Structure 1
């Protein structure tokens, strides 16, 4: 396979992540530290920092948080020419961190910019000729824009690798809504990445291997279930492999799954494997790409917030 310079496009939301200051902070009231986030935006930033030519496709508000998003994207090298200006406010998520570094969110998302997609706004994506389109999270499930996003996936699929991350958010959308749509998404997708928390929301008590088999039957050839510090389960048309994660001192896990997906797509893009169906991946390439994804995720866990590494920062961990 030869490398392609066709870009990767990432479609979805930008979210202002407001972190509650640690207990014991002096002063009355509640102190918040607001950082740019949102699963798809985090993935786009991580891809660009690794050196993959990356477009974000997001509706960017003109409010103060929209300015925060634009600065982060520009500094990371993400292309925003496919981002329409939105008149609605940005989505806000307030995150408290548990003792294990995992974030617990409350969302302020009604009537915000991220879900209002129209077919006209999405039409320019095809002209960018992306080798892969990665999407999911809330943009793929929340009305009124979700239907237009699904139509775009179907339109691009003949020449574009489709990557999906459901990123289930039960506080905003009932898991049943994801569950009902997932077979249709699997019929469109080449790669499905979920976390073990996603799996627990979608199919409580179901073993990851059994879930992978059901998604393969629905049409997706490659499924990766990320397992936090335990690494990742890879199922490629039913052939299983467990890839361990490197050890890391966890500061928090915000954006780790998004960084993993970016690392995986980056390596596949470098190898020229993106740009169509993932029906002939060599096992060594897939194993190495997943291992690279775990390294990118680990580096993200080692710092506060969704702040994925640049390529040079990973040189010592993996080349």
Structure 2
């Protein structure tokens, strides 16, 4: 992976929640998670100065989150603090992966503070995850994204989550609005299909890119595709690996992509992202390598620790 220590830091905004994941005996084991917290952890382990603008509570789960982020080298100066508990995500295995039942009400996790001042000091600002759609965090994320779009590179991962606790209409509308603000959108084919059911994923990504964005579409084991504002379209395969874990693979891909953006100081020129085809290919390959490292490791946190090592 590219070492981006010399670059300006990247700001990651969103939730740090706890995943309760069943082991082989059906026991639920806690793992620090939340897509933005995973991205921040992975990004720091890939050598990028990273700041996390989430919110941490007053329970043992939050202490585990703080230890995990700090051990990776993430700056927590912008993280909020609260006596409330940490949000939980109970994982259940399905034939295609994991489904989640979220416990979000009155938690510290979504008490975010808007970040609107001094964003030009960051190489990029990432927003996404449940915080983008769950009140009261959603308003803080939207306000931060609006400010970031005018002052630095705004990167959005819609990371659609469908759950009884999330208003599907308002939530999807918020995610579409964030994508409209973004300079870079990274989304899975399922994300795009859910957000724009009337369009095929490739066609929608092309439309988003034609408006000046870099759009990265991930397809799981089928690799990923970058849609450039220039009209160029580039695809790379997934890295072959014996899969033992899929939790956080998309977040690891996002961390690899952000690390590549930071290392290459990719910027927005006006409303359009200034990126070459060769750079885009490198970004996809770095994302794929990061995802493969996570998929090859057992346990979500062990998987993200693996991002500190170069693949063989």
**TM-score, length-normalised on structure 2?**
0.89
- Which of 40, 60, 65 is matched with 1:64 structurally? 60
Matched-pair contact (CA < 8 Å) for 2:186–2:217: yes
Displacement of 1:272 = 1.8
Distance 2:86 2:18 in 1: 7
Q: Which digits, 9 at most, give the CA deviation of each residue in 1:135-193, with x for residues without a partner? A: 11111122223222212222233331100011111113244334323443233211111
1-structure distance, mates of 2:275, 2:54:
30
Where does structure 2 lack aligned partners over 5 or more consecutive residues? none
Q: CA deviation at 1:196?
A: 2.1
Shift of 1:311: 5.5
Counterparts of residues 35-54 of structure 1 (less than 5 Å)? 35-54=31-50
Aligned to 1:88: 84
Flag the 1:32–1:311 CA change in 2: closer, same or farther, 3 A: closer
Match among 281, 295, 298 for residue 301 of structure 1: 295
Aligned partner of 2:106 in structure 1 is 111
1:22-67: CA deviation from partner (whole Å, max 9, x where unpaired): 2xx3xxxx62211100000000000000000000111100111100
Q: Structure 1: where are the runs of 5+ without partners?
A: none
Aligned: 1:240 with 2:233: yes
Runs of 4+ in 1 over 6 A off after TM superposition: none
Provide the aligned C-alpha RMSD in A.
2.2
State how 1:116-131 maps to structure 2 within 5 Å: 116-119=111-114, 122=115, 126=118, 129-131=121-123
Partner of 1:273: 266
- Which whole-Å CA distance do the structure 1 matches of 2:149 and 2:78 have between them? 18
Going from structure 1 to structure 2, the CA distance change for 1:85 and 1:220 (only over 3 Å counts) comes to farther
Q: Name whichever of 150-159 and 230-239 sits farther off.
A: 150-159
TM-score by length of 1: 0.87
CA distance in 2, matches of 1:45, 1:276: 29
CA contact (8 A) 2:132 2:175 kept: no
User: Cα distance, 1:236 vs. partner?
Assistant: 1.2
Question: Quick one: distance in 2 between partners of 1:36 and 1:276?
Answer: 37
